[in-house]
Structure 1
């Protein structure tokens, strides 16, 4: 089995082709066809959430599939919109809800909310990328996290934003070799520590991001070995061996500043 870094690289080096393969999957193809054929027929929030197939597609596209059952919650967010900074969606820590409301902005656009490209092909593009990441995660959760971080990186402007997203925070903690218990520390303390170890502007720099994700995937592999041989070695000697991680890289990973 390929290690985490190699698996991530195989997908990341040509995201376009990887997404094309996802799009060609029969189930994905059928669901996407249904979505595009029906989304513009939706003229109200009530109509939107009533069509379960349509609504679930939209929710998954925004990474919210686990909340697809909470229709009353989503109706409230959609009705209040995002024009008011104190609206329900804007006050939620998880900004995926505000992004969802922005895509289907019935509060601002009424019956025409679904005619915009972000509610049509824009949502399809998000759905395909989301499915790609989920498929990768079935084999290796570290690959899914790396792909997700790569996708979100250009929009990351502060470590408070990172901490508001459990997946992003997990990547950073792993890359800094921090225990999961660190997540329970005071938020300001976590941000201060991150700022001491990472430069937020480097996250949006492709080269620096590549180095950061190489570190993350390598440390993830050590803690979550992909190879059965590696797993056995970890059980015998009390710690996972660094399968697929060179000695030079292991030394480089001791430098915490990025």
Structure 2
């Protein structure tokens, strides 16, 4: 039986425990037989892959490739994934650029099939780049099987560090947050956004995000989350608000059930 992450507490106390034991738990998880086989197979074979078609036709390689970007649910959408991989990511009209979920763009950029005559699969450090991301994602999934909020928190911790290293404007970084569904969920919950918020015009959403960032963190720059203490505050706010929302939903459901019983 594979190792399952240990989460003895819910909410922010659970996150504190997970953060403290993360390195040890993740190392133990990655030593599991299935993860080890998948990583070794990818690292041995990906160098021979030179086209998107070759990748999508090898299910084992594709599973790791998609899993590295949290796109594992698309494993059976071979034609769609091939189109993504063959996109010219510098062309704003390409499919990878048009999709709201920017994980697809990052996926296409990582492999470079549509950008270069020689794809990035030929680089010596490419296999490790992808398998490391795959291992991280698989661990997050295992955590999410026990607590979905913890998975979102782990993803936010990772994605915000990656985002801070990108050479794009602060506005572009906010739009990247808005285009990353899991990361957006963390921000929306932490900022107390209603479900109807996503229906607003994107420019208006950006204004609200920045207003809430100033209110809760003192500045509207996404760059602040490059600091560990600011990421921790964001995740704490997310977990506390999410737990409160779940409690309120459960209380409302219980009251509804009691009302129905009394009326009957």
- When the two structures are superposed, what TM-score results if normalisation uses the length of structure 2? 0.78
Residue aligning to 2:13 = 6
Stretch of structure 1 that moved more, 149-158 or 136-145: 149-158
Residue aligning to 1:167 = 182
How far, CA to CA, are the matches of 1:93 and 1:232 in structure 2?
32
The superposition leaves residues 54-112 of structure 1 with CA deviations (integer Å, 9 ceiling, x where unpaired) of 11110111111122222212222222332434333233322212211222112344455
How far, CA to CA, are the matches of 1:76 and 1:39 in structure 2?
19
Residue aligning to 2:234 = 212
Residue aligning to 1:95 = 102
More RCO (CA 8 Å, sep 6+): 1
TM-superposed CA distance for 1:216, in Å, is: 1.1
TM-superposed CA distance for 1:145, in Å, is: 0.8
Distance 1:105 1:223, change over 3 A: same
Q: Which of 26, 34, 57 is residue 33 of structure 2 equivalent to? A: 26
C-alpha contact (below 8 Å) 1:56/1:65 kept by paired residues: yes
Distance 1:95 1:232, change over 3 A: closer
How far, CA to CA, are the matches of 1:87 and 1:135 in structure 2?
34
Cα RMSD after superposing both structures: 2.5
Unaligned runs of 5+ residues in structure 2 are 1-7, 165-169, 214-219, 257-264
TM-superposed CA distance for 1:46, in Å, is: 1.8
TM-superposed CA distance for 1:126, in Å, is: 0.4
Q: Which of 136, 139, 143 is residue 136 of structure 1 equivalent to? A: 143
Distance 1:112 1:191, change over 3 A: closer
Aligned length: 234
How far, CA to CA, are the matches of 1:80 and 1:188 in structure 2?
26
- When the two structures are superposed, what TM-score results if normalisation uses the length of structure 1? 0.80
- 1:190 matched to 2:197? The reply is no
How far, CA to CA, are the matches of 2:32 and 2:61 in structure 1?
18
C-alpha contact (below 8 Å) 2:30/2:135 kept by paired residues: yes
C-alpha contact (below 8 Å) 1:42/1:114 kept by paired residues: yes
